[in-house]
Amino acid sequence: MNAPENHRSARRTAEDVAEAGRFFRYMADYVGFTAADAGIIRRTRPIIAKYLPEIVSEFYTHLLRYPLTRKLFLRPDGTIDEPYLNLRMRHLSNFWLRTAQGVYDDEYAAYVDYVGRAHTSRGADPSIYVPERYVIGQVGMMQHAISRAVSNELRAVDDETEFRAVEAWDKLMMVLLEMLAHAYGHEQEPEAYGEPVPVDSVWVRALAEQAVAAEHGDNGARPLRRAAVAAAAEIPDGQRKIVQIDDLSIGVFHHQGAWYAVRNSCIHQGGPVATGALEGDVLTCPWHGYQYELRSGRCLTDRDAELDRYAVTVTGELVYVDVPDSGPPAGLQEKAGEPALQANEFRIADLAAGQMLTLTVNGLAVLVYNVDGKYYATDEACTHAQGPLSAGKLEGKIITCLLHGSCFDVANGAALCAPATAPLKTYPVTVDGEIGRVSVT
């Protein structure tokens, strides 16, 4: 990757340096990169130095092979600018030799940040711009090359050190990739730092085991409860009904004399699949066109993936659906020594200004917003195509749906941007000490 030259923007302020170091440490902690990892990388520096000519040669041979990256090294007449190419090779060599020193202080972090900026129009030379996807590819190539070099040297003499070294370099590459990508400034929202949030790991493990078991078709004896969802007359043959049972949105279909129920959540991005077009036995999600066999729930493009299905029973005039009876869920935000929250409640401390969180109240998904210390609540689904507003962007009082760009005023629910025209439903929010409550009627 291209390292910086001494043009404009080369001088970093103390605040820049400190912020780069802070971000590096934050990401290192996130991926589990430790001082021990830095130590083992330091031990591999002689290996990196030995293999660096080969690595640099392969790296630039690859870049010169493809027109999209080759053009970065060409003169106006189309010939390779050899002095410039040699300079880039020197900078690349310097970057990895410095990285292999295993010293990751604020100055090193600022150096990486500046290397990242050097690939963008905000770097030392605004005429140079390397698309982010190429930087990601460059890091991947270097990761593979360094791992190969370490394995070649250590596997036959010390496989334990080889394993530790490859793992350490892999984790460091994750940090470097995030640092370099961060320089492009395309974050959907400003970086927000904070202490890790307490999580009930036992609950998460149980949930993970359920998820893996479901994907492997080994759910065991799961407790079920039978819920009445409609009068049979409400769903004549060829029709469907979307019902809400606890946290589940379910599509109940009366199709060619038989009854089917599937979870109304596409495996791709959670789109309202049960609202999509049904042609023959094929159900198409309205968001991105994923298709499923209604009878089996299987995805047509991935036969190992399928929608969750539920047994349907028609007794007398009523339609029943059997759903999992898992009892009250343990909340991720539940804290030791504090009373459990009601479904319509949230802790003020858990919702910082400019942030939002989702509550499920009486089977309804509600999105709560903190706008400069004032709290608002609306339906979580966009009124256009039921896109999840919780995945959107909140700017001031305006929430924008990531799906098609519809935007709304969270204070009154007004639709401000097409394609949505219908407003969001809003709900009153009250604050009692450290607890916020949403009134859903």
The answer on 231 and 176 residing in a single domain is no
Q: Domain of 300: which CATH number?
A: 2.102.10.10
- At residue 364, the pLDDT reads 80
The DSSP string of 112-161 is: HHHHHHHTSTTSS-TT----HHHHHHHHHHHHHHHHHHHHHHHTTT-HHH
Give pairs for 322-330: CB < 8 Å, separation 24+: 322/224, 322/225, 322/226, 322/227, 323/224, 323/225, 323/227, 323/245, 323/246, 323/248, 323/250, 324/222, 324/223, 324/224, 325/223, 325/224, 325/225, 326/223, 329/247, 330/200, 330/203
The answer on 150 and 19 residing in a single domain is yes
Nearest by Cα to 146 from 99, 198, 179 = 99
CB burial readout 366-394, b (16+ within 10 A) else e: bbbbbbeeebbbbbbbbbbbbbbbbebeb
Residue 207 domain flag? no
- At residue 146, the pLDDT reads 94
CB burial readout 189-212, b (16+ within 10 A) else e: eeeeeeeeeeebeeeeeeeeeeee
Residue 330 domain flag? no
- At residue 82, the pLDDT reads 85
For residues 182 and 165, what is the distance between their CA atoms, to the nearest angstrom? 26
- Helix H or strand E segment including 252: strand 248-255
The answer on 350 and 319 residing in a single domain is no
Residue 353 domain flag? yes
The answer on 161 and 34 residing in a single domain is yes
What total of structural domains would you count in the chain?
A: 3
- At residue 204, the pLDDT reads 66
pLDDT for 385-400, tens place per residue? 877 788 788 999 999 9
The answer on 136 and 262 residing in a single domain is no
- At residue 212, the pLDDT reads 62
Residue 141: domain span: 14-182
- At residue 2, the pLDDT reads 47
- On whether the pTM is more than 0.95, the answer is no
- At residue 39, the pLDDT reads 95
- At residue 9, the pLDDT reads 41
Query: Which residues of the chain carry a pLDDT beneath 70?
Result: 1-12, 121-128, 185-207, 209-222, 326-339
- At residue 43, the pLDDT reads 95
The answer on 43 and 170 residing in a single domain is yes
